[in-house]
Structure 1
Amino acid sequence: MKLPQSPKIPSWLLRMQFAADPLGCMDNFHKRYGDIFTIMADSTLIVYVSSPQGMKQIFTSTTEIIASGELNQDAAPLVGNNGLLLLDGLRHRHRRKLLMPAFHGTQIRTYGERICELTEKVMGQLPVGKPFLAYPTMQKITLEVILDTLFGLREGERYEKLRQVLSTLMNYARSAFVGISLSFPFLQKDLGRWSPWGYFLYLWQQFDELLYAEISDRRQQPNSSGIDVLSELIFARNETGELMTNEEIRDLFPSLLFGGRDASATAITWSLYWIHRLPAVRDHLLEEIASLGGSTNPMRIVELPYLNALCNEVLRIYPTQVVTFPRMVESPVEVMGYELSPGTIIIGCIYLAHQHKDLYPQPQQFLPERFLKRQYSPYEFLPFGGGARRCPGEALALFEMKLVLTTILSRYQLALSKKQPERPQARGANFPPASGLKMMMMGTIQHQGQQQQTVNC
């Protein structure tokens, strides 16, 4: 079997290079080997593919190439054994289907006004004339949205406790220790709450206790009219027709939590960076927002064409998923002219696919107009992945991104605190600006019946 070209360096050194600079490694390998290359991970063959042709083969050859949940087993401490990442077949399809209504169509429209309110709640706490870090600020907003849309919580003791626990848990889960421990399971030793892994398990236990208490309370209120995801799942039935257990419900949340807070916050933060770094982009977007005539109708906002193009361009440069979930070759298959044998792992590199010069001229430039001029296929533009493992929260993520940005731009005057270009830095699966993006709150924008605040610098 002839394999795609591979770097001629030891596996341990390759792992170190990937850990230090994953995007830089991908760029270098693409320049050297093109749209398909092989990485040896000990005795496992991993083939990376980045062309639209290769992406299509990965997603459509479902008999020869399977998206097995077993390949995500290392993530079980994060997502649970019943999470979508680890499920296959009927169980995966059914539970994914249970989540879809909460993230699409009429359901997400009910979240619109609340997303705008939560954005104002967090941004309104920032003092005028003071610098702030955009990324953790956006994390606060997206966490508030999670508490509302996923759990239906807005106030009260349990809301406050869950907000604190989730913030601490998700920050700790992004720490270097947890990342290393997920790669090396022998480090996953519970030596008590004061040990590193023991503390991680303690935080999950705190989350579980709060979530199970909320589930128990709501099971006693079968006529509840909640429109949040948790309320939908409590009274939904699994693939055998039975109500899901507390653990089954719980395991559907972790991947939604990390994507809902960190991936969304990353995308919104990069949007703020490009908008305030490029005056022409900012002016074009502000002009489009002004065309609404002061309307705060969420459905009018999300239909703005330039806003949509801008969000797509942000997600093109640093997609919420830089690679697809791994697939395994089940039976011999040809991919991009190479015969791959059973057992080979295939990963689609979304980040590299979005850098193709023939699809995206001047790929390093931020050019929202490219999305106004061309419609890209799901194999050319795929910031949320593709196939059976595509992110179920895609529609809600875009909806939230557009509303948060529009609310900020229409109500607050911000500026970047430094002129130097920002660089991405890996934090878990996401790549927010390395500095956290330091910005300045210059003032609030006057609306009818309100007084404008500004600061001169």
Structure 2
Amino acid sequence: MVNKLPNGPKKASFLQLINWISDPFGLLERCSQSYGDTFTLQLMESKPFVFFSHPQAIQEIFNLDAKQFDAGRSNNVIRPLVGDKSLLLIDKEPHQRQRKLLMPAFHGPKIQAYGQQICQITELVTSNWSIGEQISIRAAMQEITLQIIMQVVFGLGEGSRYQQLKPKLAAILDMTGSPGRSSMLFFEFLQQDWGAWSPWGKFLRLKQQIHDLLQAEISDRRTQSELTGTDILTLLISARDEQGEAMTDEELRDELMTLLVAGHETTATALAWAFYWIHQLPSVQEKLLSELETLGETPDPMEVARLPYLTAVCQETLRLYPVVPITTPRITTSPVQIMGQQFDTNTSLTPCIYLTHHREDLYPDSKQFKPERFIERQYSSAEFIPFGGGNRRCIGSALAMLEIKLVLATVLSHYQLTLADGKPIKPGRRGVTLSPVGGVNMIVKGKRSLQSQPKQPVTSST
């Protein structure tokens, strides 16, 4: 007996996918209003996606045994970007092995060691700003986050390979930089190589050039008698599994591409939203600057990262318009029960970040930007889920949060900025992410030097 799926739109799957590409947040809100906490979308022929926004359901999904689902094949849309061996695309034992190899490079002292680098890169990029200049904050943040990826992850800060790789990496991400161009990833019939002049042909050739450069870097590192770098590529080349086996060149290359796609675009987008809200709401900016002043002009990066209001601003940014609307769907390989309801094999169980973050019972006035909510309340790992959860939680979440905090603090400590106009900014699709449409244009009003003040505790607003 086939179990009945939750209700959902009756439109053809092709039309539902068009809506998902063009206006995912709008589609989710309409479905939530019509069908409640759980509903079904047909985003692909014969493959139902069941969306969940109730924290209990999400916790049950995150707690599922990895043997009960596949998650990798639900990420097929990004396979052309990241490659077959990406952590995002593998399951079961290969996924567990790869995650164990990657984990040490993204936790504890390793992450803390990158703090100074992040601040220095931010200062270097922003040193080119001129007073009175109008800048696209998203473009500036992309430049910063790309340089962080190049140096912290790839270990490249200069030289011929750096000069070749940097523009190519930026270019391949820009190829899916609008809803129209993003369609290449979602519709296989658009993935036709009709030569270097065709969109897909251009994409494939650019990807091959990047792969060749990454392979050359990997090969060079492997020939070194002693690996002494602190970058993530060096750590991954040195990593060994329980059998003493190292990662293959293909695994290394695909993980580097994954870190680029998952760690560059997403962080730049979150930063752009943060600058928008901080400068849209004077009270938020005032509180944040007051808190930064308590540390003086040259604070230790980890002291900055521990600031409570700065942390709350970053959390609220990731809550209001999450960079991706859903976590990795779990495709059931056997029947499972979620909140008492049975789901058959080959159902995509999809925790919805956006709808969970906009539950009024969790986040009153959810459309408003209120960092104080994260100071007043501790949210569970099924209530605040910008990085997913369970065994598919984003492995780079600690580095991403550190990066967002330090870039924000560094820029705000050195520059006075203002929004170029007061118009509200809405999210729009950029590849698999949702980004502020127009890039958040701002004007550099002047330089700022924060004066050290006595430390004051951050309290909730009334």
Q: Name the TM-score, length of structure 1 as normaliser.
A: 0.94
**Cα distance, 1:431 vs. partner?**
1.7
What amino acid maps onto 2:391 in structure 1? A
- 1:405 match: 408
Moved more, 177-186 or 291-300: 177-186
Task: Specify the alignment match of 1:158 in structure 2.
Answer: 161
Alignment of 1:37-436 (within 5 A): 37-40=39-42, 41-62=44-65, 65-174=68-177, 179-238=182-241, 240-436=243-439
CA deviation after TM superposition for structure 1 residue 186, in Å = 3.3
Secondary structure of 2:350's counterpart equals: strand
Distance 1:68 1:285 in 2: 39
> Match of 2:24?
22
Q: Say which is worse superposed, 196-205 or 230-239, in terms of deviation.
A: 230-239
For residues 244 and 412 of structure 2, what CA distance do their matches in structure 1 show? 47
Task: Give the drift of 1:8.
Answer: 2.5
Distance 1:352 1:38 in 2: 14
Question: Counterpart amino acid of 1:29?
Answer: C
Asked whether the equivalents of residues 296 and 450 of structure 2 are also in contact (C-alpha less than 8 Å), the reply is: no
Stretch moving more, 232-241 or 50-59:
232-241
Alignment deviations for residues 423-451 of structure 1 (CA, whole Å, 9 cap, x no partner): 11111122221111010011112479xxx
* Equivalent pair of 1:178/1:197 in contact (CA under 8 Å): no
The alignment partner of 1:234 has SS state of: helix
Structure 1: distance between partners of 2:340 and 2:63 = 16
The Cα shift of 1:71 comes to 2.7
Task: Note if contact 1:189-1:197 (Cα within 8 Å) is conserved in structure 2.
Answer: yes
SS of residue matched to 1:76: helix
The separation in 1 between residues aligned to 2:113 and 2:242, in whole angstroms, is 28
- Amino-acid identity (%): 46
Q: Deviations over 1:161-189 (max 9, x none)?
A: 11111111111144556532332323323
Equivalent position SS for 2:430: coil
Distance 2:295 2:66 in 1: 48
Task: Say if 1:273 and 1:98 are closer, same or farther in 2 by CA, change over 3 A.
Answer: same
Name the stretch that deviates more: 198-207 or 41-50: 41-50
Kindly report the root-mean-square deviation, in angstroms, between the aligned alpha carbons of the 2 structures.
1.8
Structure 1 Cα separation of the partners of residues 194 and 107 of structure 2: 43
* C-alpha separation in 2, matches of 1:70 and 1:241: 28
| Per-residue deviation, 1:63 | 6.0
Distance 1:325 1:415 in 2: 36
- How many residue pairs end up in the alignment? 448
Structure 2: how far apart are the matches of 1:144 and 1:94? 29
Asked whether the 8 Å contact 2:101–2:239 carries over to 1, the reply is yes
What code does the residue aligned with 2:268 have? A
Q: Is the 8 A contact 1:90 1:239 kept in 2?
A: no
Q: Is the 8 A contact 1:4 1:37 kept in 2?
A: yes
SS at match of 2:428: coil
Q: Is the 8 A contact 2:71 2:331 kept in 1?
A: yes
CA distance in 1, matches of 2:378, 2:117: 31
Distance 1:195 1:307 in 2: 45
Aligned to 2:454: none
Q: For residues 361-413 of structure 1, what are the alpha-carbon distances to aligned partners after superposition, in whole Å with 9 as ceiling and x for unaligned?
A: 11011111110011110000010011111110000000000000000010001
Letter in 2 for 1:189: Q
The corresponding residue for 1:454 is: none
Contact kept in structure 1, 2:413 and 2:449, CA below 8 Å: no
Question: How many Å separate the matches in 1 of 2:370 and 2:392?
Answer: 29
Cα 1:133–1:380 change in 2 (3 A) is: same
**Paired residues of 1:37 and 1:49 also in contact (CA < 8 A):** yes
Range that drifts further, 207-216 or 70-79? 70-79
The answer on whether the counterparts of 2:97 and 2:241 sit within 8 Å (CA) in structure 1 is yes
Q: Distance in 1 between matches of 2:389 and 2:169?
A: 28
Q: 1:257 to 1:187 in 2, by over 3 A?
A: same
What is the CA–CA distance in structure 2 between the aligned matches of 1:335 and 1:119, rounded to whole Å?
45
SS of 1:440's partner is strand
| Amino acid corresponding to residue 83 of structure 1 in structure 2 | S
CA distance in 1, matches of 2:443, 2:171: 26
Query: Cα distance, 1:340 vs. partner?
Result: 1.3
Unaligned runs of 5+ in 1: 449-457
Paired with 1:250 and 1:63, the residues of 2 have a C-alpha distance of 25
Q: Given residue 5 of structure 1, which amino acid in structure 2 is its aligned partner?
A: N
> For 2:386, what is the secondary structure of its paired residue?
coil
| Structure 2, gaps ≥5 residues long | 452-462
Q: Corresponding residue for 1:452?
A: none
Deviation per residue, 1:113-151 (Å, 9 max, x gap): 111111111111122101111111100000010001111
